[in-house]
Amino acid sequence: MRLDLIAVGTKPPKWVREGYNEYAERLGRGWRLSLTEVAAARSNNAAQVAEREADGLLRAVKDGVPCIAFDERGEALSTRQWAEHFDIWSHHGGRAALLIGGAGGLAPAVLQRADRRWSLSPLTLPHMLVRVLVAEQVYRAWTLLSGHPYHRG
């Protein structure tokens, strides 16, 4: 399973890089989580910022790859449900794109392109923290599917 994490922001703090890498490097048995960073846009107009960032996010998504947009208004899934989706995708192409917007969220074009919209929480989370949360949940899903004892829930 190859998961392309495509995220707005090119200069994460050290703790974000370390947290993301910790979980991405733990994956095994044919799973890979790769990060593509998209430059954050600057403007006083929030809609313009989201649109500019959308261009970069959408360019990074490979054709025909299922796309998940993280959005606070998306579907709230359990870790087991994440694992079920990844298991299905691993048998149908073996790849998915996971999109994280910038501080202003995702533009309508990104939400329209997404095959699914997932919520990590009803809270508004810092977009850099979301990288770490997604990496940990991907790792946790892998542990469920591979029988690793990490997940005890």
Q: Which residues are annotated as a binding site for S-adenosyl-L-methionine?
A: 101, 120-125
Which is nearest to 97 in space by CA: 40, 32, 43?
Answer: 32
pTM of the model: 0.92
Sketch the domain layout of the chain as residue ranges.
2-146
pLDDT, tens digit, 9 for 90 and up, residues 21-57 = 999 999 987 899 999 999 999 888 888 888 899 999 9
**pLDDT value at 141 more than 90:** yes
Residue stretches of the annotated binding site: 101, 120-125
| Tens-digit pLDDT profile for residues 56-87 | 999 999 998 999 999 988 999 999 998 999 99
The string of pLDDT tens digits covering residues 84-136 is 999 998 887 789 999 999 988 899 999 999 999 999 998 888 889 999 999 99
Q: Could you give the angle at which helices 14-26 and 127-146 cross, rounded to 10 degrees?
A: 10
18 has pLDDT over 70? yes
CATH superfamily of 2-146: SPOUT methyltransferase, trefoil knot domain (3.40.1280.10)
* Confidence bin at 153 (pLDDT 50/70/90): low
Q: Is 67 left (phi over 0), alpha (psi -120 to 50) or beta?
A: beta
State yes or no: pLDDT of 7 exceeds 80: yes
